[in-house]
Amino acid sequence: MQVELNRLHRWLQHAGKRLLVLVEGRDTAGKGGVISAISDCLNPRSCHVVALPKPTERERGQWYFQRYVPHLPAAGEITLFDRSWYNRAGVEKVMGYCSEAEYEAFLRQVPVFERLLVEDGILLFKYWLSVDQDRQEERFAERAADPLKRWKLSPVDLKAREKYREYGEARDAMFRATHSDYAPWTVVDFNDQKRGRLAMIRHLLERLPDVSVPEPAFELPPLKGKPGREQFRGGVRPINA
C-alpha cells in the first residue's frame, strides 16, 4: 500500500489536486500511528501533518475555523489533521470547555464550511477511530508504565478516561449533525491497531483514482573515474562509531 500511496501522491501533484484527511477518535485509539504510517513514506515537503496546540487568547476571540484554514492543503498537497475542528464536538463538549451556544453554533457551521471546501475541489475524508474501553484501559496503563510513552498521557486524558460513555454520546450527536453525502464519516475499528491502520489506508486508496503518472526514468550514467572516499583535511575528523 505504500507504493499505492506514493502513486496517489504523484497523481495529486500531477493533477493539482488537494487531499485533506481528518483523523479523529478515542484517546489511545491510534491516531498518531496511522498518520505516521501514511506520512513516513511520502515526501514531507508536500505531505503535512497538522496537530495544533491549544488556541491562544487571541485565537479564542476569532472565528472558530480561522486557525485551521491556513493549514488547508495547496495544489498537489496532502494534509493530515491529528484532531481537527471537531475538538469542539468531542473533548470541548464533554469536558465543558465551550458553552452550549458555541457547541450548537459549531454543529450548524461545520456542514456549511465543509461544503465550501468540497465544492472548491478539496478531497475531504473524515475518519473516526473506535476502541472498546477495556483496550483503552490497557493502553492507558501501558502509557503510565512506559517511560517512552508517558508524554502521551496528559492530565486531561486522565479525567476524560472516566467519561467513555459521554464521549460515545457526543460522537453520535456529532455524526447526526455532520455526516453528509459530500463529507461522510468513516468509522474504523482500532481495537487491533495494525488491522485498523490497514483498513483505513485501504479505504482511503479505494476511494481515490488509482492513476499511474508516468515518471521520467532516472538514469544514472557510470561515474568517470574511481569512486571517491571521504577524506578530511584539517582538524575535524569522524568520531568513533
75 to 94, contacts with a second copy by CB under 8 A? 75-76
- For 216, half-sphere exposure in the C-beta direction (CA atoms, 13 angstrom radius) is 4
Q: 51: which residues sit within 8 A by CB, 6+ positions away?
A: 81, 82, 83
Residues 140-159 that bind a second copy (CB under 8 A): 140-141, 143-144, 147-148, 150-153, 158
Residues 167-196 that bind a second copy (CB under 8 A): 168, 172, 175-176, 179, 184-189, 192, 195-196
For residues 2 and 42, what is the distance between their CA atoms, to the nearest angstrom? 9
Q: 59: which residues sit within 8 A by CB, 6+ positions away?
A: 66, 67
Phi-psi category of residue 16: left, alpha or beta, with phi > 0 → left and psi -120 to 50 → alpha: left
6 binds a second copy (CB under 8 A): yes
Which residue's CB is nearer to a second copy, number 2 or number 209?
2
228 binds a second copy (CB under 8 A): yes
CB of 155 to a second copy, least distance (A): 9
Taking each helix axis from N to C end, the angle separating 100-119 and 164-178, rounded to the nearest 10 degrees, works out to 50
Residues 99-138 that bind a second copy (CB under 8 A): 105, 108-109, 112-113, 115-117, 119-120, 122, 128, 130-134, 136-137
235 binds a second copy (CB under 8 A): yes
CB of 96 to a second copy, least distance (A): 20
CB of 220 to a second copy, least distance (A): 6
- Listed residue (183, 195, 148, 153) closest to 37, CA to CA: 195
